[in-house]
Structures are given as C-alpha cells and as structure tokens.
Chain A
Amino acid sequence: MRRAFNPTRIAIYLLLILFAAVFLLPIYVMLISSLKTFAEVQDLSRMWSLPSTFNIENFRSAWFGIPEKGLRGLGPNLINSVFLTVPATLISSFMGSLNGYILSKWKFRGSDVIFPLMLFGMFIPYQSTLIPLTQTLSAVGLGGTLWGLIIVHVIYGLPITTLIFRNYYAEVPNDLVEAGSIDGAGLLGIYWRIMFPLSLPGFVVVVIWQFTNIWNEFLFAVTILQKPELQPITVALQNLSGSQIKEWNVVMAGALLSALPTLLIYVLLGRFFIRGLLAGSVKG
C-alpha cells in the first residue's frame, strides 16, 4: 500500500493529467463555442465559459449554410469528401497490396532498386509536381473534377500502401508460398487463396491510414478544384474560416463536423491507426 503515497507516482499522474488537459483544450474550445449563440460567442469575456444554452442550431447552419448572410453550408462538401475518399482509399489500398505482394514474394532483378524509387514519392513536397499535374489533368479533360483528384490520391498513395503491405507480407513465411505453388497455384492463385485472406488486418491498417490522409488532405484539393460546390470539406472549411463574416460558433461547428469521421475511426480503431503510423517510418 506504500505505493499509493509515493510522491514520484503522484507527480507522474499530475504531469499526465496536466498534459491531457492541454491536449484537450482545443476540443473544449471547439465544443463550447459550437454550442453558443452568435451573441454569446461575440461576448469575449465569456469565451472560455460553458455555453448558457445547449444550442445545436450552429450545426444546422454549418451543414446548410445561412443564405441570407451569404454563408455556404458544408454539407455538400462533406458528401464530396466521402465520394473522394472512399474510392481513392479502396483503389490505392488494393493496388498497394498487389505491389507489396510482388515486392516481398516475387522479387525480380531490379525490384530492390524500384522499391526505394517508389518510396521516395511519399516524401516529396507535392508543390514540385503541382504545375505539371494541373496541366496534365486539364489536357486529359480531368482538370477541376473530383475524378481527377481521386486519381491523384490513388497515385500518390501508392508508395505508402505498397510499403505497409510489403512489410506485412515479408512477415508471412515463404513456406506458405512454396506450399501453394507445389499445390499448383500460380502467382495470382497464391495471392487470392493464401495472401489476401491473411492480409485482412493489414487492409484495416492501410484503409484507415489512407482514409484519414485523403479525408484530411488540402493542398491537392485546393489546387485542383476551383468550384466551391465540388470542393472537399477541408477546402470548404478553410474558405469558411477565411470569410469576412466570422460566425465563430458556426465555424467551430463546421470544424467539428469535418473532424468527426476521422476522429470516430481513431477512437474506435485506434490500435490499427497506431500501426499505420509506425509503419510510415519506412522500417515499420
């Protein structure tokens, strides 16, 4: 029982709680501001106080907008983000899985050179591709379209998805592949019957990682999509917060709405999220 009174342990808990409070501070501010009326959010002396009313009107305004004040709603942009993120995530994950399988189990001459060259693509500042990118997308008729942005996310997602799957499949014993090929299964048969079923946890990690990254991405989206009605939520939120009429309560409600999908995934599936995080540092 002496442990409970150990001053070192008390200090440890105090520090942990202090840091937790600092980390949660922005969420607190977002929540209380998003529940306040415009009059109350304007009262700066009450900025840190709890809302006097429980007002969910702001979430309605964030979704549908306030036409008479010229405020666009974020609802359509949230739906754009879904239509952007889901296909881009699924396609890049599936291609990454095939790539990782080949690069770990069917190495060919030169594959050890190709792999790091592919990986480099996930570290580059995308600014150094933006000008050719917009030119190329316009040239093939995909400029300013959601499909163009989906393709961009698939391609630039390939390095990280390939990396995570390659490291994942490297852990699968080669004996399983050998056994498959003795049974007469070819490269694709081994993938479908042995590797793919084995890699479902790997898929969860990669899908969560890609979903989070693509949902949160801003630079490609703001460069490629000019039309407000086509933009994903990150760009729309940035526009909303940058507009002249600053309805902070509505902006905060909008920020919460846009953060909700990835936040929910993180809280529910945090274990897999962390694995994706650690895998991103090349060695995994």
Chain B
Amino acid sequence: MKHKRRERWLGFLILLPSIILLGLFVYGFIAWTGIVSLSKWDGVTPDYTFAGLSWYKGLFTAAGGISHRRFVIDLWNTFFFTIFFLLICVVIGLLLAILLDQKVKGEGIFRTIYLFPMSLSFVVTGVVWQWIFAPGIASRPRGLNALFTQIGLENLTWKWYTSTDSIGPFHVALIPVIIAAAWQLIGYTMAMYLAGLRGVPEELREAARVDGATEVQIYRHVVLPLLSPITLSALIVLGHISLKIFDLVYTMTGKGTGFVTDVPGIFMFETTFRGNHYAQGAAISMVMLFMVALVIVPYLRYSLKREVEL
C-alpha cells in the first residue's frame, strides 16, 4: 500500500472545496453574525462600530422596552411550543408505531397516510391549517367553529390562534400552531419507532411470553426500554426544529396580536429584513444558535463517539 499516500492527498483535495465552503458559510458566517450583533449597524448601510453587548442587553433587560417584552414572550412561546410539540409527537408517534406493529392488515396504507405530511412544505401546512382554524365571528363562524356549530357543539367554539388569552405565560393561541406542527411531524417519530420495533428480536419477546408476561408487560419491560435511544434521537431532531421554527408560524399566524404566536425566528426576520435593525437581528439569531447548539453539540459528540466504539 505504498502509493496510498498520494491517493490520500487526492482524497483530501476532493474534500477541500466542501471544507472551505462550509467553513466559510457556516463558521465564518456565524462569526460574522456575532460581530454584527456587537456593532451599531441599525439601518440599511452597514456600520461595524463596536457597541458591546448593548443589543443583547436590550433583549434581556427591561432597558430594551418593547423589544425586550417581545423577546421574553418569544422565549416563553418557544418553550411551551417545544414542550407540547415534543410530547405530542413522541406519545402519538409511539402509539401509532405500536398499533402498526400488531400485524394489522393494510399497514402500508396507514403508514403512508401518517407519514405523507412530512413531504409537504411548512408553507402548505400553514396555509391549510390557517383555513381550518380560522375562527370567523360569532354570527358567521368559519373553519372548525362552523363545523362545531353545525353539529350542535357551540360550546367548543373559541378564537383559536386569534385568542389573546393566556394561562400564566402560556398563550393559548399557540395550541392550533402546535397541532399543525405535530400533524406534520408525528409521522417522523412513528417511522423512527416502527423501525426500532422491527429491530427488536422476536426471541426476546418469545422468551418473555414463556416467562408468562402479558403483551402489555412485554412492551413496558422489554420493548420500550430498547427504544430509548430512538426517543433521544427523535427529541433532539424535533427539538432543534422547534427551537428554530419559522416558516410554519410565519405563514399560519404571523406574530399575532400582542405577539401571542411570535417566535424568535419571526422576530429576527422582521426586525432584520423588514425593519433594517441588522445588529438586533444578529443578536437574536446568536441566541437562537446558542439554544440549538446546547442541544446538538452534546448529541453529535455522543452519537459519533458511540459509533467509534462500535
């Protein structure tokens, strides 16, 4: 294998364009955004005069006024959105996978139906669910409210994503958005769990059956523990999606009255590209990056280390 040395150099050269491009477009641009977030750039023309942490202070302390209030609401919204979205995706995804794992007829058809929203764009999802959840007015109900009224369930009608009510810091207007997001991504957890269930050796279940375990006990004590790495992967992948969510909310509801459905992604986009507050937008995106990195970096380390050990 003497001539392999030259070949290895060739390999490096082939990889080099990708390394340079990603180095610049990922790490270079993040550093650049970091610099913008510390600058005075607050208009159409770039201004890189150093401003310290003033934009971050504006977001995190009362000195920021309306921006601060909006950002705090955004962080709460992201928090509740993430928690409920993950919970629904994991619970229903697992339920559907277990149901499909019962040797049912037409499994392929059901699987196709549960998974097809994954092939749609968030924009299409947002447009359709906006129409479904549009509340209308009491005398002219629309969407689900119209359906509820027709079948005599007027009590169930409410203002959906236009509601400005909240339970503590939780804005109930988020509920329709969470449902739309879960509709789109439950199929993902279902597919992950189904692949995991198919990987559980039949002998394991058989052995438990011989020991007198019921089917429910087998799931609780044998199968589910084996699925926990899948839950972790699903939580990370869905979690980072929800931390940076933009398209769906932007299309479906926008920031909402009093920011009831606002998220950092929308705040960043509007303040930067509609309001020309570049430094503020940069600061928001750095906070978003920090939140995502907190989840992703340990996960990348964990899964790649595990791979090396195998």
**In the complex, what distance in Å separates the CA atom of A255 from the CA atom of B119?**
13
Tell me the residues in window 1-53 of chain B with beta carbons closer than 8 Å to chain A beta carbons.
1, 4, 7-8, 10-12, 14-15, 17-19, 21-22, 25-30, 32-33, 36, 46
> How many residues on B have C-beta within 8 angstroms of the other chain's C-beta atoms?
103
Asked whether, in the complex, the Cβ of B114 is within 8 Å of the Cβ of A29, the reply is: no
**In the complex, what distance in Å separates the CA atom of A136 from the CA atom of B26?**
13
Tell me the residues in window 36-92 of chain B with beta carbons closer than 8 Å to chain A beta carbons.
36, 46, 92
Residue of B nearest to A234 (CB): B123
A179 interface residue per 8 A CB criterion: no
B49: shortest Cβ distance to chain A, in Å?
16
Tell me the residues in window 255-284 of chain A with beta carbons closer than 8 Å to chain B beta carbons.
255, 258-259, 262-263, 265-267, 270, 273-274, 277-278, 280-283
Tell me the residues in window 176-191 of chain B with beta carbons closer than 8 Å to chain A beta carbons.
183, 188, 191
Asked whether, in the complex, the Cβ of A262 is within 8 Å of the Cβ of B278, the reply is: no
A187 interface residue per 8 A CB criterion: yes
Tell me the residues in window 181-206 of chain B with beta carbons closer than 8 Å to chain A beta carbons.
183, 188, 191-192, 195
**In the complex, what distance in Å separates the CA atom of A209 from the CA atom of B42?**
38
Which listed residue, B14, B96, B116, B297, touches A120 by the CB 8 Å rule?
B297
**In the complex, what distance in Å separates the CA atom of A217 from the CA atom of B4?**
41
Which listed residue, B4, B10, B26, B272, touches A121 by the CB 8 Å rule?
B26
**What is the interface of chain A mostly: helix, strand, loop, or mixed?**
helix
A-B contacts, CB under 8 A, total: 265
- With A29-B132, A187-B10, A277-B188 as contacts: A127 and B265 at CB distance below 8 Å: yes
> Contacts of B21 on A, CB cut-off 8 Å?
155, 158
Asked whether, in the complex, the Cβ of A265 is within 8 Å of the Cβ of B22, the reply is: no
Which listed residue, B32, B129, B293, touches A132 by the CB 8 Å rule?
B32
Residue of A nearest to B278 (CB): A131
Residue of A nearest to B27 (CB): A117
Residue of B nearest to A281 (CB): B233
Asked whether, in the complex, the Cβ of A267 is within 8 Å of the Cβ of B116, the reply is: yes
Nearest 9 CB-CB pairs, A to B?
A216-B121, A125-B244, A106-B11, A266-B119, A127-B285, A132-B32, A129-B29, A132-B29, A121-B26
* Pairs A–B under 8 Å by Cβ, sample size 30: A23-B117, A29-B128, A47-B146, A48-B150, A106-B7, A106-B8, A115-B304, A119-B300, A120-B26, A125-B243, A128-B33, A129-B25, A130-B281, A132-B29, A132-B36, A133-B29, A156-B25, A237-B127, A241-B130, A252-B128, A255-B124, A263-B116, A263-B120, A266-B119, A270-B115, A273-B118, A274-B191, A281-B192, A283-B306, A283-B307
Besides A48-B147, A124-B292, A125-B288, 7 other A-B contacts (C-beta < 8 A): A20-B110, A45-B150, A106-B8, A127-B264, A158-B22, A218-B122, A234-B247
